[in-house]
Amino acid sequence: MSELLQFLLSGLTIGAIYALAALGFTLIYNASHVINFAQGEFIMFGGMATVFLAKAGVPLILAVPLAIMVTILVGMALEKAAIETARGAQVVTLIIITIGASIFLRGVAQILWGKQFYPLAAFSGEAPIEVFGATVVPQSLWVVGVSAVIVLVLAWFFGRTLLGKAVLATAINAGAAQLIGVNTRTVLLLSFGLSAGLGAIAGALVAPITTANYEMGLMLGLKGFVAAVLGGLGVGVGAVVGGLLLGIAETLTAGYVSSAYKDAVAFVLIFVVLFFLPNGLFGKRGTERV
Amino acid sequence: MNVLNSRYGGLAVLAAIVLLLPLVLPNNYYFDVANRIAINAIVAVGLNLLIGYAGQISLGHAGFLGLGAYTSAILTSNYGWSPLAAMLVAALGVAALAFLVARPILRLKGHYLAMATLGLGMIFSIVLTNESALTGGPDGMAVPGFELLGWSPQGEAVWYWVFGALLLAAVWLALNLIDSPVGRALRAVHGSEVAAAVAGIDTTSYKVLVFVVSAVFAALVGSLSAHYTGFITPGQASFLHSVELVTMVVIGGMASTFGAVIGAALLTLLPQVLSGLEDFEMVVFGLILMTSMIFLPRGLVPSLRGWLAAKGRA
Amino acid sequence: MAALLEIEKLSKSFGGVHAVQEVSFTVQKGLVHAVIGPNGAGKTTLFNLISGVYEPSAGHIRLKGEEVGGLPPNKLAERGLSRTFQNLQICFNLSALENVMIGAHLRLDRSFVKALLRWPTITRGDRACREHAAELMEYVGCGKYIGSEADGMPYGALKRLEVARALAAEPEILFLDEPAAGLNPTETAELDEVIHKIAARGVTVVLVEHDMKLVMNLSQRILVLDYGRKLAEGTPGEVRANPDVIAAYLGAA
């Protein structure tokens, strides 16, 4: 029993990271119908920047927000340079552009920080905590806790603030939103910045657990994408549920079936889900008007 | 007749290049590069049918390539099969697999389709990496040379003619297909799926057909190139490799067979050009991807064609 | 007059929206029929149901006596049904001629292997198809665009191109969804002539139209829809005089 709990708890932890990544995808998809393959690199930048700021002597409490801000700037720069200039391009083209961006950012990270794995000190120590027979490291609590807070803040932002509603309006119908005075270009820029921030937080949170490396964004990003599609592309609730489900499915598979195939779980899962629910768990089934 | 626009004109130019290139290639290293270009070009031509003409997307095609390569490698290396038989089994196996997954996958559209193909490729890649008893794991495995009726091509120069002939054949087949009722149906599916349907086209069947055909192209090439290089690793089936293949099609020009060939050539030559700047390879590759898609979204060949046509009108 | 198409209590709902409710009518062979009604009456939904784009929620569709409700569009095309769309569905990645040639798809050799090898039957069939497509483009009045790419053509010409494509299938029954939408009076008059010609060839025509002059001129039977339900069915004279129809269009007295 405690073994199952152990798996569930670690699944929840990694699931929270996937959820944050998935939310990042969802935000940008909603604002622009673009899948930002560079989302994983935002996570990586957050983690790596935090590591290096900490190494330079900056206390964690400052390093993390600074790293987040740097990544937000990177995200907005990416939007300005690549996405805005390519407005109206076909889906395939946009996908390639963001894939190119992700390779570019990975290359930059490699030049700046090399290929090694870097540890990061846990936010509040390493002493494991006992929970009903399972052990949890404090960092896991940080991951799940901060993620939960973020999800709540985002829900408040989109549900209750004018700016948040403007972003939602743009997602639903950009043309109509423009007509009522929403600056859709700003919304897009904001979405990229917010996504980058989300990714960076995830990176800073997970780095103490997995160590940071210039390639860490690749798998995290891909799985975040899987989680977003699982839940239904463009649906915030779906992204969170998809992320958590994926994390738990992964750890359960690693624990009970085979740890070598842990990475395959995401991709098998997406296959299965899309087979029965072509629009994901919470995706809307629309009919095309002809 | 404008060479760029005439179908067989282009094929003739390509044939001329294939025939005359050996006269200027100084040594085996260059033949190897030419072979790699031909290998990538054949896959790109097949993938272009799927992406450029039929308007679908596959972010996992390297998976089929890897499956073809490993099937051939395992059957010849571990079980002593003849390379030709192994290659045929690989092609048939991939065709069956592609057919099986095609129907459910191709019901999906846009990003969902991209995700499903990505997932498929990743699954192949992970299986190939993990089943080390069979595949040699992440370090890869050795592959015996190719042999057909007693003849065994040895050396880059000899393989050059094999790949050159195959490339010309692939381009010829693709050009024929595009300008036929089946080819038009494929392109119509891309243009307006509902219009194609009311014209009597079973859109799903056609999408499945082109998906399987392009998968088989990849598998066949995977098998042969495995024998050529003598060694394969799971990296052949990686997401990055799938991305490279899609990039070749998109950069050269979607819905342009020659564009696919040119795109393959460019992307194969790129690492050669960048080999002095190893650390910067990723950065440069990423930059090139981004800028070419931003400024030449239709790809090189169609953009060139458009530019020339505009100059002609001026 | 034989009933070519029988619709019986056909219904379609999208969630809570009942787009078509228990509509029954018959299409007689060789006549021109029109489906009219205010916007949102369900006319295009009806077309989409009959042509297989939507699946019925309830009811029957019988083509030449055979139940065809729920069949996909390509199966209906095999049974002699062809249509155009209210929102143009043109393949802009093809040339004008190729768009029309698509319409003839079922009449061509669709063998994959022969296509790969450029079999003579394929090239001959394509050449004949190309000529026939050019003739059709002349027939519908967009002959000057024979050498053009579809994405360079003006709206009016594209509407006619779609009609040419639908005709290329040599259908028994042709559905035209708002063929005159977006056309100026001259173009509409030309369209009127084309539809007359088509009907004279023996093709059964069913059209959705708002242009009442066109409708009254062309059609021999009219179906009136309102809020997804059948309001009236009959000859133009009968429908014009029907008080419910007058009320729906002009408001009750």
The confidence score (pLDDT) of residue A51 equals: 92
**Could you tell me which of B62, B57, B48, B58 has the C-alpha nearest to residue B261?**
B48
* Tens-binned pLDDT, residue by residue, of chain B (314 aa): 343 456 778 899 999 999 999 888 888 888 999 999 999 999 999 999 999 888 888 999 999 999 999 999 999 988 888 889 999 999 999 999 999 988 888 877 777 788 889 889 999 999 998 888 888 888 888 888 887 777 888 888 889 999 999 999 999 999 999 999 999 999 999 999 999 999 999 999 999 999 999 999 999 999 999 999 989 999 889 988 998 899 899 888 888 899 999 999 998 998 888 777 777 888 888 888 888 888 887 778 888 877 787 777 65
A276 touches chain B (CB under 8 A): no
d(CA A124, nearest CA chain B) in Å: 36
Interface of B with C (CB under 8 A): 55, 173, 176-177, 179-185, 187-188, 190-192, 194-203, 209, 255
Residue C81's SS3 state is strand
Residues of chain C with Cβ-Cβ distance to B196 below 8 Å are 91, 102
- Can you give the length of chain A in residues? 290
Sign of the torsion angle spanned by Cα atoms A181, A183, A187, A188 = positive
Query: What is the per-residue burial (b if ≥16 Cβ within 10 Å, else e) of B89-126?
Result: bbbeebbebbeebbeebbebeebbbbbbbbbbbbbbbb
Asked if C116's CB is within 8 angstroms of B197's CB, the reply is: no
The confidence score (pLDDT) of residue C126 equals: 93
Residues of chain A with Cβ-Cβ distance to B293 below 8 Å are 86, 89, 93, 96-97, 100
Digit-coded pLDDT (tens) for C44-98: 999 999 999 999 999 999 999 899 988 999 999 999 999 999 989 999 999 999 9
The confidence score (pLDDT) of residue A89 equals: 73
* Amino acid at site B243: V
What's the mean pLDDT when you consider all of chain A?
86
- Can you give the length of chain B in residues? 314
The confidence score (pLDDT) of residue A288 equals: 59
A230 touches chain B (CB under 8 A): no
Counted across chains A and B, CB pairs separated by less than 8 A come out at 133
Interface of C with A (CB under 8 A): 14, 44, 48, 53-54, 85-87, 89
d(CA B195, nearest CA chain C) in Å: 6
Q: Cβ atoms within 10 A of the Cβ of C6, count?
A: 16
Task: For chain C, count helices (H), then strands (E).
Answer: 10, 10
3-state secondary structure A114-178: CCCCECCCCCCCCCCEEECCEEECHHHHHHHHHHHHHHHHHHHHHHHCHHHHHHHHHHHCHHHHH
Asked if A287's CB is within 8 angstroms of C85's CB, the reply is: no
Q: Is the ipTM of this complex over 0.85?
A: yes
Closest partner residue to B119 (CB to CB) among A97, A271, A278 is: A271
Digit-coded pLDDT (tens) for C103-115: 999 999 888 999 9
The Cα B242–Cα B236 span in angstroms is 9
The confidence score (pLDDT) of residue B305 equals: 78
The Cα A146–Cα A139 span in angstroms is 10
B touches which chains (3+ CB pairs under 8 A)? A, C
d(CA B177, nearest CA chain C) in Å: 5
d(CA C94, nearest CA chain B) in Å: 7
The confidence score (pLDDT) of residue A289 equals: 59
Report which DSSP code applies to B112.
H
The confidence score (pLDDT) of residue B116 equals: 86
Query: In this structure, are residues B230 and B142 in contact, taking their beta carbons and an 8 Å threshold?
Result: yes
A233 touches chain B (CB under 8 A): yes
Phi, psi of A219 (to 5 degrees): -70, -40
Report in angstroms the alpha-carbon separations of C202 from A82, B63, C104, C196. Answer: 57, 54, 18, 10
* Amino acid at site A242: G
pLDDT of residue C232 exceeding 70: yes
The confidence score (pLDDT) of residue C84 equals: 95
Q: Cβ atoms within 10 A of the Cβ of A113, count?
A: 17
Residues of chain C with Cβ-Cβ distance to A287 below 8 Å are 14, 54
A touches which chains (3+ CB pairs under 8 A)? B, C
Please name the residues in contact with C68: beta carbons below 8 A apart, sequence gap of 6 or more: C52, C61, C62, C75, C76, C79
**Straight-line distance from the first to the last Cα atom of chain A, in angstroms, rounded to the nearest whole number:** 55
Counted across chains A and C, CB pairs separated by less than 8 A come out at 10
Query: In this structure, are residues B57 and A92 in contact, taking their beta carbons and an 8 Å threshold?
Result: yes
Which residue matches tokens 């916007």? C39
Query: In this structure, are residues B39 and B225 in contact, taking their beta carbons and an 8 Å threshold?
Result: yes
Which residue in chain A has the smallest CA separation from C83?
A290
d(CA B202, nearest CA chain C) in Å: 6
The Cα B301–Cα B253 span in angstroms is 5
Closest partner residue to C91 (CB to CB) among B177, B180, B191 is: B191
What's the mean pLDDT when you consider all of chain C?
90
Interface of C with B (CB under 8 A): 51-53, 72-74, 76-78, 82-83, 85, 89-94, 98, 101-103, 105-106, 108-112, 114-118, 122, 125-126, 129, 162, 165-166, 169
3-state secondary structure chain A: CHHHHHHHHHHHHHHHHHHHHHHHHHHHHHHHCCCCCCHHHHHHHHHHHHHHHHHCCCCHHHHHHHHHHHHHHHHHHHHHHHHHHHCCCCHHHHHHHHHHHHHHHHHHHHHHHCCCCECCCCCCCCCCEEECCEEECHHHHHHHHHHHHHHHHHHHHHHHCHHHHHHHHHHHCHHHHHHCCCCHHHHHHHHHHHHHHHHHHHHHHHHHHHCECCCHHHHHHHHHHHHHHHHCCCCHHHHHHHHHHHHHHHHHHHHHCCCCCHHHHHHHHHHHHHHHCCCCCCCCCCCCCC
Query: In this structure, are residues A230 and A269 in contact, taking their beta carbons and an 8 Å threshold?
Result: yes
pLDDT of residue A160 exceeding 90: no
Digit-coded pLDDT (tens) for A99-125: 899 999 999 999 998 888 988 888 887
The predicted model scores a pTM of 0.88
Closest partner residue to C94 (CB to CB) among B177, B187, B198 is: B187
Residues of chain A with Cβ-Cβ distance to B203 below 8 Å are none
